[in-house]
Amino acid sequence: MEPDPVLLAEARTALVREIEASGVWRDDPGWRESFRAVPRHLFVPYYYLGVVGGYERLWGEDPDDRRRTRWLRGAYADAPLATRVRDGELVSSSSQPSLMAKMLVELDVREGDSVLEIGAGTGYNAALLAHRLGDDHVTTVDLDPEITESARRHLTAAGYRPAVVTGDGAAGCPERAPYDRIIATCTMSSVPGDWLAQCRPGARILAPLATGLVALTVRDTEHAEGRFLHTPAYFVPLRGGGARAPQEQHIGGLPRKALQNELFRFLLELTAGSLDPHEALALWQREGRPVRERFGITVSGAYEWAWLDDPEGPYVWPL
C-alpha cells in the first residue's frame, strides 16, 4: 500500500528542514541531499511506540487510514524508532535522524572513502552513506541474520546495494578492508583491535562509548587516539565476541543531584570497573564538573585507556 504522495513529500521535507535548522550541516552540506533523497519510511515498514505495559505497533500496511498516517508521520519524525523487540527487550532501532546526521558529519568522509558500519539496524544509515559515497564503498555488518536480511530488503527497495554482511561487528569485515572510516551504531565498551588492523593510516573511527561519541584517528594497525564529542549518545549495546558484561557499580551514598547529572553519569560509565564511584565523584567535583570534550581514549596495542585532558596525565583509567 503506497503512502499518500503529498503527505510523504511534506513529511520528508519537514524532517530535512528540522535537521537543517539545528545547524548540523553547516560544515558539510553534502549530507542534506542524502537525507532528502533516501526514503526513511522504506526502512521502517513497522515500528513500536512505548506504551504503558508494552509497545504499540504501527505499520505501513495498516487498513486504518488514521493509523497509517500516524505511521508515516512517525517515520519522518526526528526521533528514534524501536524496530525490533524480543521478549520485551529492545534489540534493534532506527536512530534519531538528527543524531545520525551529526555522526555522519563528524565521520568526515571524502570522495572515494571506504566505510565500514558496525550495526546494520534497518539499513537506513548504510543507505545514506551509499547515496553519498556509492554502493561499492559501503559495508555494513550485524551479528543477527534477521537484521541483515531485513536491512538488505529495505536497501534493495530503496535502490541501494552496499555490502551487507552477517558477522560479529567486533571482528570487523577483513574481506572488505582496508577502510578509511569506521562508524559504529551500537554502544561499545572498548575499541576492538581488529578495527585498527583493518584501517588505513589516518583513518577515522567514530563510536558510541559510555553515553558519548569518541572520534579516534588511527595512526597504524596498533595505535589510535582521540577525544569525545560534546554530543550525548545512547545506543543498543554491541552483541557478539566483543561485548562485555556491564560492570556492577555500588553507587549507594552518592548525592542524588550528582546522579541526575548527565555528565557525571557519563564519567561513571567511562570509569566503571576501574574507579570507585565515590572517587569518580570527588574527581568530577575537583575538576570543575568536566564536559565530555575533556575526555579521550588511547589505544596502544593490547592496552586501552580513557583519560581526562591528557593521555599521559594524572587521570587515566584502563578500559
pLDDT in tens, 242-260: 555 445 556 667 888 888 8
For helices 97-107 and 5-21, give the axis angle rounded to 10 degrees: 50
pLDDT recorded at residue 242? 54
Supply the residues annotated as catalytic.
Answer: 92
Query: Which tens digits make up the pLDDT trace of 77-100?
Result: 999 998 887 776 777 788 899 999
pLDDT recorded at residue 223? 97
CB 254 within 8 Å of CB 188 = no
pLDDT recorded at residue 221? 95
pLDDT recorded at residue 2? 83
Full-model pTM: 0.91
Instruction: Work out whether the CA dihedral 133, 136, 139, 140 comes out positive or negative.
Output: positive
Distance CA 154, CA 120 (A): 11
pLDDT recorded at residue 1? 74
pLDDT recorded at residue 52? 53
pLDDT recorded at residue 257? 87
Q: Quick one: which of 234, 223, 220, 209 has its CA closest to 295? A: 209
pLDDT recorded at residue 27? 81
pLDDT recorded at residue 92? 76
Superfamily of domain 5-232: Vaccinia Virus protein VP39 (3.40.50.150)
pLDDT recorded at residue 49? 86
Name the stretches of the chain with pLDDT < 70.
Answer: 51-53, 88, 239-252
Burial of 302 (0-12, 13-18, 19+ CB in 10 A): exposed
For the chain, give every domain's residue range: 5-232, 256-318
